[in-house]
Amino acid sequence: MNSDWLRPQWPVSRRVHAMCTTRAGGTSLPPFDSLNLGDHVGDSATAVAANRDLMLGAMGVSTVFMSQVHGAAVAILSEDTAHGVIADACVTTQRGLACSVMVADCLPVLLSDQRGTVVAAAHAGWRGLAGQGGHGVLEAVVSALHRARAQTRLNADSQLFAWLGPCIGPRAFQVGADVRQALVSDSPEAATMFRRQAGDKWLADLPGLARLRLAALGVTRIYGNDGTDAWCTFSNPSRYFSHRRDRVSGRMAACIWLDG
């Protein structure tokens, strides 16, 4: 794999593999330079296809590219799942098939049980986190993980682990009062993840909000993005794509899979 890509450091089974791409290693021309994996952002279709082949070749497994809509639907992946399935999270127990999400400021969340029987990926922007009535994409994907483990009847007591990838950081993610209200209304403790700015604007801590949601679901072993500037997509233009910063932007992918 490209040495610039991120590899989670977490104590899960050695049969679990995961990574998150950066801008490095692809064929796309500016402003999509260079490893743009999004086929919906205006880049050359030939370049996107070549970039996806590069990523899959490095991984050595197949994946499903979903159509993400900032919702909370979860796809259960199998070898028959078609590209373009409308969902913002995915789960699989199938070996050699990666769960993947694409991001360019939203938070990618990768999950696995400690013993490596099931893996999942979620695309968690503020809309997906907020969801409806306090049930968002993280609640949906963790519930799907538990169901998948119950169906396998293996290691049902195995602890869940999460890894948070790069996203827009808490010093760059300015939102309005409506966004804050959507995230605080069903989770009052989320108020600690906002810092007030002038004009009723707020700085939001997206990875902090995700950590709160995961902890409430019993997922307390959380690794990766700690909200520092090194993880901020907006603040690191040479390494990460950022839609908010550039408006016309490529997409990165965070992927997790079980040994084939």
Bridge partners of 254, per DSSP, are 20, 101
Would you say residue 122 lies in a domain? yes
What is the total count of domains within the chain?
A: 1
User: Residue 141: which CATH number?
Assistant: 3.60.140.10
Provide the residue range defining the domain that includes 194.
16-258
Would you say residue 1 lies in a domain? no
> Residue 88: left (phi > 0), alpha (psi -120 to 50), or beta?
alpha
Q: 127-151 pLDDT, tens per residue?
A: 999 999 999 999 999 999 999 988 8
pLDDT at residue 82 tops 80: yes
Neighbours of 77 (CB within 10 A): 26
Neighbours of 15 (CB within 10 A): 15
Contacts of 194 (CB under 8 A, 6+ apart): 175, 180, 184, 202, 203, 204, 205
Where are the alpha helices (H) located in the chain, listed in sequence order?
Answer: 45-59, 126-130, 137-152, 177-184, 206-216, 243-246
Q: What is the mean pLDDT of the chain?
A: 96
Contacts of 157 (CB under 8 A, 6+ apart): none
Would you say residue 204 lies in a domain? yes
Would you say residue 114 lies in a domain? yes
Q: What phi and psi, each to the nearest 5 degrees, are found at residue 212?
A: -60, -45
Would you say residue 8 lies in a domain? no
Would you say residue 143 lies in a domain? yes
Would you say residue 180 lies in a domain? yes
The predicted model gives 190-206 an average pLDDT of: 96
Question: How does residue 156 score in pLDDT terms, banded at 50, 70 and 90?
Answer: low
Q: 204-248 pLDDT, tens per residue?
A: 999 999 999 999 999 999 999 999 999 999 999 999 999 999 999
pLDDT value of residue 260? 73
Question: How does residue 152 score in pLDDT terms, banded at 50, 70 and 90?
Answer: confident
Would you say residue 133 lies in a domain? yes
